[in-house]
Structure 1
Amino acid sequence: MARVLVIGGGIAGSATALALHRAGLDVEVHEAHPDSAEDLGAFLTVASNGMRALAQLDASAVVTALGCPLTSMRVLDGTGMELAHTPIGEAGDPLLQYRCLRRGDLSSALQAEAARRGIAVRHGARLTGVRQDTGGVTAHFADGSTATGDLLIGADGLGSTVRRTALDAVQPLYAGQLVFYGCTDAAPVADGDACITMIRGSSAAFGVAVSPEGEAYWFARVSGDPLSAEQLAQSSPADRREMLLPLLRKDTTPAADIVAATGEEILVTNATEIPTGTPWRSERVLLVGDAAHAASPATGQGASMALEDAVILAKCLRDAPDTDSALTRFEELRRPRVEHNITVSGNISRGVHPPSPTARGAAPSRPGEDDLVRLLKWDADIWT
């Protein structure tokens, strides 16, 4: 049985470990952080495609126990007028409904599920280098320890050490927007109705989802120059709130009041992306999730694309005659779809208008959309 080292125990790494374990591989996870609570305050949505991937890992219950479902989207303009209110995703299936939850909660839950299934998860293992030879691949860690396997999966996110040390690949680029995240239980909004509200403001795009308990999870995307590493590290929640409020107050929407009611739980980051065409693989090393194909958060697909990666990689390794064929097949299946997402999301962040809609009035779907159900179905062969 092949031994696989997964570097990174976040969403991509833990899901990959679950998938590889289900495929019968010997897998262990090495996570740099001393625990699983990194970035607890930021929230995300897992879309229906991501929930479908989790279902194939028998992990639906782990995630539906967290956060709240989202079944519709309301769109407002800068005056607060409703432009649209439509269902989103597979709203009729409780296992496939969009899910709004904290990033750290999702990561912790998937890590815990991996450990419950007998997968080794090692915390405090900060990667410093990767060495490959004909006998395997060895990960070197800051504490002087090593781990050797037949394959190493870099699932260590946007700032991937695996990408930098093993592939010497292009590093992330700024995608044109600052992204703010916040959470408050004091916002002047009603308790949740499983709807996410998107506001097309004059100076910021804003979105908010409210849980049944009245917690408002919000984000704002603002065009402008990137913040320096020092600015990102040293700004306080009050600083971030005051950066954002003047922009939101230009419009007559609930956005400014929601942000004003938010206390310490305000984060800001630069929207970044991995350029398309960047290498994912070097012999016995493969990147997945944001380490391979991070997109700006404008489409909200980062976590879901990583969950798709996990299932399809495991199936490729299970069904291919050898590792090289499996990794080649994985890249053939995944690259068109995830790089389309990078392009679309980056265009949104930069304010670039996409090509005209099709004659039927809908934007073209991501490559692989029609085949996704079949590709993710665990019992279906990856070659058919």
Structure 2
Amino acid sequence: MSADTITVTLAVRDPEAKRVLAQAARECPGVHLNGEGPGPVDLLVFEPGAEPGAELDRLERARRDGRVGEVFLVGREPSPELLIRAIRAGVTEFLPLPATARDLAEALARSRERRGGGREQARDTGRTLAVIGAKPGVGASTVAVNLALETNRSHPGRVGLLDLREPQGETPYFLDLECAYTWEEVVNNLARLDCTFLDSIITRHSSGLGLLPAPADGRAKLDGPAREHLLAEMSRLFDLLVLDAGVAGEQAIDLMRRVDGAVLVLNPTLPCLARARAFLEELRRQGLADKVRLAMNRHLAESEIDPVEASEVLGHALDWLLPDDARSALSALNQGRAVAEAAPKSRLARTLRRMAADLGGFAEAPAARPGFLGLLRRLRSGGKTASQGLGVA
């Protein structure tokens, strides 16, 4: 048997569906149809019975043990709860009943893409923008959240926000969101990390912006490999991913190697300028300084630190001057709204909109294709399910 051959086992209760799927599997090149006996299997096509929760638990254990590779779920339109449970168990495709040969063939083609067998080049990923504070308390989270919201305004649903602040992030407060999951779920489920799993744990703002917050207790740690994996998958899920990246330091330097661009937020104070200068000097030593742009927050027209002098000290131009407008910023935070909504006529709102326009341009998203993500969204919104296989994006 060829190394490229996929072994398929049909654990399907519906006799007609099993007949149709068996015939379709035999006609697909590179597919070997197994019986339901013991032994490892590359692909299990599975129809749950009367106790789907217990069956999915057993299925998850089989995947962890290496006895089962990929899993397709067969059945009538599932509930959102069952679908999310199936995703967590490792299911990657849904084949609706009544079964058709075309559904299985298309799902197998997507499976081959995920394995790398049917793809000539990697799928395009979105841009990643890190927002970094020169020191704690400079307003970097305010900038990150509002840049994400403003960009999402013109590209709804295509912008994501990832909170990487340590030891605790605060982005849900800025958006008035209660988040059931954080990136701690990713740390605990790295083997299952893909776009489908991510979409099941990301919280969606009413605007369509997707948020994955930091854990509230600060105990979980997102190390380098896990962070790299998470960034790669979120970049596939969103066309623009904004990172609330915390304070300038070693982690921020590591992120600068990965991101497409960054905004360093600083205040017009001597301690902050000193921290910003040290960070910029390290970026220059590592050849990363061309990725970063500077935003001076809480700027006063009559400040003792002139922007021109600050630029000379930093050896880098200041790209934006965000006015000192604590009233608008605090009002937006306390309402859980964008500054542009809480204080639409303020100078701060206008400057943030200009920043988003400067930073937020990105290529149009690729044409939509059937996916598990689409089914989950349709079910959550009460829409009808299309009669087609559902692949992982």
Give your verdict on TM over 0.5: no
Structure with greater strand percent? 1
**What TM-score does the superposition give when structure 1 sets the normalisation length?**
0.22
**What TM-score does the superposition give when structure 2 sets the normalisation length?**
0.22
Structure with greater helix percent? 2
